[in-house]
Amino acid sequence: MDTKEDVEEETTPQAEEEAKPKSKVRTRDVTKRPSPKPEDEAEAEQESEEAEEPEAKAEDEETPSEEPKAKRSWHRDPLILVALAVTAASAVAAAWFGWSYHSASGDKSISQAHLRDQVLRTAEQEVVNLNTLDYSRIDQGLSLWQDSTTAELYDQIVQGRQQLATSVTKAKTVSTAKILESGITELDSDAGKAGVMVAVRVTVATPDGKSSASIRRLSGQLTRTSAGWKLSALGQAPTSSGN
């Protein structure tokens, strides 16, 4: 049987623990708060951007204000306007003179080329005329010879016309000509003089039906008259050996 002292010994430690003052324990609210949603973050970013835009616009609006001042300054300066006008006028004048010179030069070259062609065609026809003669139409043929010539050559044809007509009529020959080659050797449009070289094939037919052909290389001079370009000289062209 336990005694009273044993009971006290057993109960005493517990009582001591209960008798000690209990320290207050601070508690913290650890309840989890809901994290912000992506939509809320997007709205927040948009609001911040909208807040920055007015500031940027204000800066942009302030900057151009200086440019009109600079523009107005040279628009109002009469010296600058005069200088610009003079520069523009000089550029236009230079372009016009350049175009005029080029155009005149081109026109002169084209005109000279046309004249060469004209003189060459005339020379070819006149050489053919002087190498064509039909005994049955002797007067008509010799008149064409005179119409194709001028100066000394014309005088030679007139002087020897009668003798040539008698000779061709007696032989009853018919001569025809064809140009093989031709070219202008010189041309002076101011002086009205030109030189020509021609290769012509002359065919002579006799009454017995026979014909003979020969190639003649001729050198001629042309002179411009009131009636056009005419042969003033015609003769055998010099060969490479000088004959």
Q: Which pLDDT tens digit goes with each residue over 51-79?
A: 555 555 545 555 545 555 555 555 556 66
Residue 218 lies in a domain: yes
CATH no. for residue 209?
3.10.450.230
Residue 178 lies in a domain: yes
Between residues 209 and 40, which one has the greater pLDDT?
Answer: 209
Looking at residue 165, what is its pLDDT? 96
Looking at residue 153, what is its pLDDT? 97
Whether 7 shows a pLDDT value over 60: the answer reads: no
Among 27-41, 168-182, 226-240, which is the least confidently predicted range?
27-41
Using CA atoms, how far apart are residues 152 and 220, in angstroms rounded to an integer? 12
Kindly indicate the confidence band of residue 99, based on its pLDDT and cuts at 50, 70 and 90.
Answer: low
Residue 220 lies in a domain: yes
Split into its structural domains, the chain has a count of 1
Cα–Cα separations (whole angstroms), residue 20 to 14, 15, 80, 151: 10, 9, 103, 163
> Who's near 225: CB < 8 A, 6+ residues apart?
150
Whether 141 shows a pLDDT value over 60: the answer reads: yes
Between residues 226 and 17, which one has the greater pLDDT?
Answer: 226
Residue 18 lies in a domain: no
Looking at residue 6, what is its pLDDT? 45
Looking at residue 25, what is its pLDDT? 45
Between residues 29 and 82, which one has the greater pLDDT?
Answer: 82
Looking at residue 238, what is its pLDDT? 83
Measured between its terminal Cα atoms, the distance across the chain in Å is 182
Residue 51 lies in a domain: no
Residue 74 lies in a domain: no
| 142 within 8 A of 156, measured Cβ to Cβ | no
**Spacing of C-alpha 61 from chain mean position:** 48
Kindly report the average pLDDT of the chain as a whole number: 76
Whole domain around residue 165: which residue ranges? Answer: 106-236
Q: Which two tokens stand for residue 202?
A: 């002359």
Residue 38 lies in a domain: no
Using CA atoms, how far apart are residues 171 and 138, in angstroms rounded to an integer? 12
Quote the pTM value.
Answer: 0.58
Residue 227 lies in a domain: yes
Kindly indicate the confidence band of residue 171, based on its pLDDT and cuts at 50, 70 and 90.
Answer: very high
Looking at residue 4, what is its pLDDT? 45
